[in-house]
Amino acid sequence: MSKLTDLTIAEARDGLKKKAFSAVELTEAHIQSVEKARALNAFVTETPALARAAAAESDKRIASGAMRPLEGIPMGIKDLFCTKDVLTTAGSHILDGFKPPYESTVTRNMFNDGAVMLGKLNMDEFAMGSSNETSYYGPVINPWRRKGSDTKLVPGGSSGGSSASVAARLVMGATGTDTGGSIRQPAAVTGIAGIKPTYGRCSRWGIVAFASSLDQAGPMARTVRDCAIMLKSMASHDPLDSTSVDLPVPDYEAAMTGNIKGLRVGIPKEYRIDGMPAEIEALWQKGIAWLKDAGAEIVDVSLPHTKHALPAYYIVAPAEASSNLARYDGVRFGLRVSGKDITSMYENTRAAGFGREVQRRILIGTYVLSAGYYDAYYIKAQKLRTLIARDFEEAYARCDVLLTPTAPGPAFGIGEKTDDPISMYLNDVFTVTVNLAGLPGLSVPAGLNSEGLPLGLQLIGKAFDESTLFRVGEVIEKAAGATPRPQSWWEV
Amino acid sequence: MSVDKETVRRVARLARIAVPEERLVPMAGELNRILAWVEQLNAVDTSKVEPMTSVVKVSLQMREDAVTDGSRAPEVVRNAPAGEDNYFAVPKVVE
Amino acid sequence: MVTTRTETGPLIDGATGKWEIVIGMEVHAQVLSKAKLFSGASAEFGADPNAHVSFIDAGMPGMLPVINRFCVEQAVRTGLGLKAQINNSSVFDRKNYFYPDLPSGYQISQYKQPVVGEGIVLVDLPGGKTIEVGIERLHLEQDAGKSLHDQHPDQSFVDLNRAGVALMEIVSRPDLRSAEEAAAYLKKLRAILRYLGTCDGNMEEGSMRADVNVSVRKPGGPLGTRCEIKNVNSMRFVAQAVDYEARRQVDIIEGGGTIKQETRLFDSKKGETRSMRSKEEAHDYRYFPDPDLLPLEFDDAFVARIKASLPELPDDKKDRFMKDYGLGSYDAGVLVAERESADFFEQVSRGRDAKLAANWVINELFGRLNKEGKAVGESPVSAAAMGSIVSLISDGTISGKIAKDVFEIVWTEGGDPAAIVEMRGMKQVTDMGAIEAAVDQVIAANPQKVEQAKAKPSMAGWFVGQVMAATGGKANPQAVSELVKKKLGI
């Protein structure tokens, strides 16, 4: 039997039901994994005591035949989700000591379904980053390495702790959030699956806000099916979130029939960017071939405003963030640095508490909203969003899903792109359009490149059609073959 | 549009982030690089387009007028760095 | 903002000639509701520190606003009461600034697309003139918390109980022209809000606050630079602030200076306005639509339901009182100033002489209530008792003078007026024989006075007084007077 930590959520669910092992055993195995993997720096806070207690409870329920959908499954929670009475930092110094007196709706849903929390996962500070290098708690290291090299690589971001911990088998699944690609891009560069659901599918209540009109919570796991299982528990209509949509949550697993005959797959030509690395183009072609083989119809489509998405994103997201982060002021929670008066206290606290990237984005955001610039920047960017959303609507008249690469390259070295913010921003070139339009996007592991590093393919769907994404995603996943476990260099 | 040292100082004050004097010019440079990059949006004709007003096409949910929350002062102030008798405390504000 | 008032109003004197004061007001009225605008915490006043605070009100990480339908209804209701345009679609914007009583670092308000548009308020001025004051808009927004600055030498304490309570900001056009007009407008606005039940208008408790914009100009000239006097919390202070500020501005301009546009506070102890010690830079609120909310939308049916539930408003009630009860504009105006007063009056006048009832309610009852600082609802003389007294006068059972005594007894001791009159033998003497006998007696006893009266007819009053005294005040004064004059031949 393979190690307990190698199981997928679907397999573990089966195993627990059949009593092949207990929830406590399953959790214990993962706690060991976590303790041995501190070199990855994936966790900000480990919660073994809570995990053991939850696992024991799960065993009781399994014994009494009252198994819930995520019963006993060891999970990691991105540190952006407020977890009751457990330190929640958002990867930032400014939330030092913050223990929320409330639970986010998404994590409450998961714990109500029996999930076991192993701890809070490291992330880019306030979800601002694509490499998990902006965290106050230090970078997360990708468990994957280039063949024959021991260069430390980034796990993607901002959900870097989530992707690394899932890939390294420290947890069976993890929550992430995605504002411009922060679930999909890290999933792609660590060889796992991750989905950003349609905006409004998962509640944002209790998730530290970055950019309110773009943020969305989603699952990250080793297989597409596991993501479907997790999403079913995470998603809900939440009356506490005015942007939460009142639609029933479908049985996503049931939609994974394996049959995509006649499905129209759109290939947007504008995603073929200048300087696109050959291996990414090749991957894309492979994906097209796999889907064609499975009976899908391939359709060329155009999303003309694609190239304006990144700049529009880097206006809207910082603008909303500059307002959302105004509450971090040292008055009611977190770090306080004293000052001679209230203004100095605010200024000193925020200067000490926020890292460089966060400060930069707050300043950009403040500037683009300020008098005289609002129309030229913010309104302009919001108009681009309308155009981008319209592009997708028109494309969806001719196809059912879109296939694109997830990221413009594999994992890069830690420190390689930190000098130039814009080169870092370009990591999101394939993913941001999806957040701007509010649509769902799934990254599927699609094999390893010549250096042995994972690459991913992205499927973009119609609003609230995550079912189709899971169905098509599984086809790609099967065609690509299972992604191997990264060879451990990190265990002590 | 580009920012200069004084603009950075003003924006930093609006954002209540203390930027040390010696960082003002380098920060202006960093912001200008980003602003120059986003300027490319000006090339797009958006004269006949409305800004996006809501990502989800639903109407604003309204809730009943009932007291369902509050009466939890200790929890509200629990994480505060300073306070007394369930008040938050801050350096004295002069009006 | 353009004033709709075209005619020149009252003017004040300066050294260089006459000046016109131009005033506009922004009134913040707390919505009467159980819970807050975007959170389920209680909106009630006066709780222990931070007891009426939810995590949303405290601006905790990850918290989100959900709008209270009733607060929206109250805003629409108020808009209808202001005869204003209701906007079926409006937007909530964030107004961004830092202050300890503003936990999220932004206030959710409405900027470019408010829920209510242009309307009008009719204001009766003392003296009989009625002016039209234009309403520019009404929007919904969150109230801020409160800071205490005097509890500690170097700390301020913050209580967020008030943070998030729904406010209606009602903006008038600059159509007011004097301190008196400003106070009268505020009084009328308060009456409308109280009639509608959308705000209790309690300025002392802070549930209604006024920001007053004042500028001066030469009659017919362009609008001057205005100053805003913030958070004035009584009508009296509004009038004082206007007078002081107008004089201050006239003095500056006539002295060769210019008015600096700024925000000021009214110091009620000194009766002066002074500049707020504010930051160097002007506020840049960076308004943008709140991405945690969607546009507020409701249909015509929503508005119609509210319209159908409106009570009779002061203007309509006043017109009806004048028409149905034959009351004059002034009296009708006094009676409808408060809904309770109007209801009280209607109870008193039901089936009785309305003008008599109005006279007694306004002069006797309201006069006494004002003197003792009581509200109509606290009147020791109930509407039924008052009505009873009016009936007793109407049917001649008691005279007006005796009625005042009865009123006094009911006020201080309580009791039923008819019973009091009966028990204390206060009935008016109407037996003409008895009255005639009393008149004859006084005439017979005072021959010199009779001669004087024939020369000076006004002396008849002396005789009337004597007869009234002789009858213990119970003779009908009218009858006595007529009889005296007849018997004296004057």
What phi and psi values does residue C457 have, to the nearest 5 degrees? -55, -25
What's the pLDDT at B1?
A: 63
Statement: residue A46 has pLDDT above 90: yes
Asked if A209 and C59 come within 8 Å (Cβ–Cβ), the reply is: no
CATH of C432-488, one of 1.10.3720.10, 1.10.10.410, 3.40.50.300, 3.30.70.600: 1.10.10.410
What pLDDT sits at residue C73? Answer: 98
Q: Catalytic residue, from A33, A131, A158, A443: name it.
A: A158
Give mean pLDDT, residues A203-221.
98
Residue B23 lies in a domain: yes
- At A419, which amino acid appears? D
Chain B partners within 8 Å of A331 (Cβ): 80-81, 88, 90
pLDDT score at C280: 45
pLDDT, greater one: A482 or A78: A78
Catalytic, A158? Answer: yes
Residues 92-121 of C with CB under 8 A from A: 94, 96, 98, 100, 103-106
What average pLDDT does the segment C366-381 reach? Answer: 92
Nearest chain C Cα to A94, which residue?
Answer: C61
What pLDDT, on the 0 to 100 scale, is given for residue C4?
67
Q: Is residue B90 in a domain?
A: no
Q: Give pLDDT, residue A353.
A: 98
Chains adjacent to C (≥3 CB pairs closer than 8 angstroms) = A, B
* Complex confidence, ipTM: 0.96
Write out pLDDT tens, residues C437-463. 888 988 899 988 888 888 888 888 898
- Token reading at A253: 């697993």
Over residues C289-325, the pLDDT tens digits come to 999 999 999 999 999 999 999 999 999 999 999 999 9
The residue of chain A nearest to residue B2, with distances taken between CA atoms, is A367
pLDDT tens, A217-268?
A: 999 999 999 999 999 999 999 999 999 999 999 999 999 999 999 999 999 9
**B58 in contact with A at a CB cutoff of 8 Å?**
yes
User: Over 80: is that where the pLDDT of B33 sits?
Assistant: yes
For the segment C372-394, the average pLDDT, to the nearest whole number, is 93
Q: For residue C281, what are its two tokens?
A: 């830079």
Residues in C touching A332 (Cβ below 8 Å): 58-60, 103
Nearest CA in chain A to C154: A341
What pLDDT is recorded for position C1? Answer: 66
CATH homologous superfamily for A1-492?
Amidase signature (AS) domain (3.90.1300.10)
Least confident of A160-164, C148-152, C343-347, C471-475: C471-475
Q: What's the rounded mean pLDDT across residues B24-38?
A: 93
**Does B95 have pLDDT greater than 70?**
no
Token pair listed for C3: 């004033």
pLDDT over 90 (residue A448): yes
Length of chain C: 490
Residue C475 has pLDDT above 90, yes or no: no
What is the predicted pLDDT for the residue at C352?
Answer: 94
Interface membership of B71 toward A (CB under 8 Å): no
Share of chain A above pLDDT 70, in %: 100
Model confidence at C487, pLDDT cuts 50, 70, 90, reads confident
Q: pTM of the entire structure?
A: 0.93
* Catalytically annotated residue among A92, A104, A159, A182: A182
Structure confidence by residue, pLDDT tens digits, A163-205? 999 999 999 999 999 999 999 999 999 999 999 999 999 999 9
**Count of domains forming chain B:** 1
Q: Over the stretch A413-428, which tens digit does the pLDDT of each residue have? A: 999 988 888 888 888 9
Chain A residues touching residue B94 (CB < 8 angstroms): 341
Boundaries of every domain in chain A = 1-492
Q: Residue A490: what pLDDT? A: 94
The backbone torsions φ and ψ at residue A105, rounded to the nearest 5 degrees and listed phi first, read -60, -45
Q: How far apart are the first and last CA of chain B?
A: 36
State whether residue B91 sits within 8 Å of chain C by CB. yes
C44 CB-contact burial (10 Å; exposed 0-12 / middle 13-18 / buried 19+): middle
pLDDT of residue A1: 41
CB contact under 8 A, A102 and C286: no
Question: pLDDT class for A2, splitting at 50, 70, 90?
Answer: low
**B52 at interface of C, judged by CB pairs closer than 8 A:** no
The answer to the question of residue B31 being in a domain is: yes
Domain assignment present for B51: no
**pLDDT tens track for C252-281:** 999 999 998 888 999 999 999 998 865 445
User: Residues C87-129: pLDDT tens digits?
Assistant: 999 999 999 999 999 999 999 999 999 999 999 999 999 888 9
Q: Give the closest-approach CA distance of A68 to chain B in angstroms.
A: 29
Q: Which of C69, C149, C281 is the closest to B65 by Cβ?
A: C69
pLDDT value at residue C278: 59
pLDDT of residue A435: 97
At C358, list the tokens: 């109005």
- Per-residue pLDDT tens over the stretch C220-257: 889 999 999 999 989 999 999 999 999 999 999 999 99
pLDDT for position B54: 84
3-state SS record for chain C: CCCCCCCCCCEEEECCEEEEEEEEEEEEEECCCCECCCCCEECCCCCCCCCCCCCCCCCCCCCCCCEEHHHHHHHHHHHHHCCCCECCEECCEEEECCCCCCCCCEEEECCCCCCECCEEEEEECCCCCEEEEEEEEEEEEECCCEEECCCCCCEEEEECCCCCCEEEEEEECCCECCHHHHHHHHHHHHHHHHHHCCCCCCCCCCCEEEEEEEEEECCCCCCCCCEEEEEECCHHHHHHHHHHHHHHHHHHHHCCCCCCCCEEEEECCCCEEEECCCCCCCCCCCCEECCCCCCEECCHHHHHHHHHCCCCCHHHHHHHHHHHHCCCHHHHHHHHCCHHHHHHHHHHHCCCCHHHHHHHHHHHHHHHHHHCCCCHHHCCCCHHHHHHHHHHHHCCCCCHHHHHHHHHHHHHHCCCHHHHHHHCCCCCECCHHHHHHHHHHHHHHCHHHHHHHHHCHHHHHHHHHHHHHHCCCCECHHHHHHHHHHHHCC
Question: In this predicted structure, what is the pLDDT of residue C277?
Answer: 61
CA pseudo-torsion sign A91, A93, A94, A100? positive
User: Does position B57 have pLDDT exceeding 90, yes or no?
Assistant: no
* Residue C122 β-bridge partners: C132
- At A258 the pLDDT is 95
By residue range, what is the domain housing residue B25? Answer: 5-43
Query: Quick one: what percent of chain C has pLDDT higher than 90?
Result: 73
Across chain A, what does the average pLDDT equal? 96
Q: For A332-382, write each residue's pLDDT tens digit.
A: 999 999 999 999 999 999 999 999 999 999 999 999 999 889 999 999 999
What pLDDT does residue A402 have? 98
Q: In this predicted model, what pLDDT tens digit does every residue of C174-184 receive, in sequence order?
A: 999 999 999 99
| Set A33, A58, A78, A165: catalytic member | A78
- The question of whether A213 is a catalytic residue gets the answer no
- Subunit partners of chain A (3 or more CB pairs within 8 A): B, C
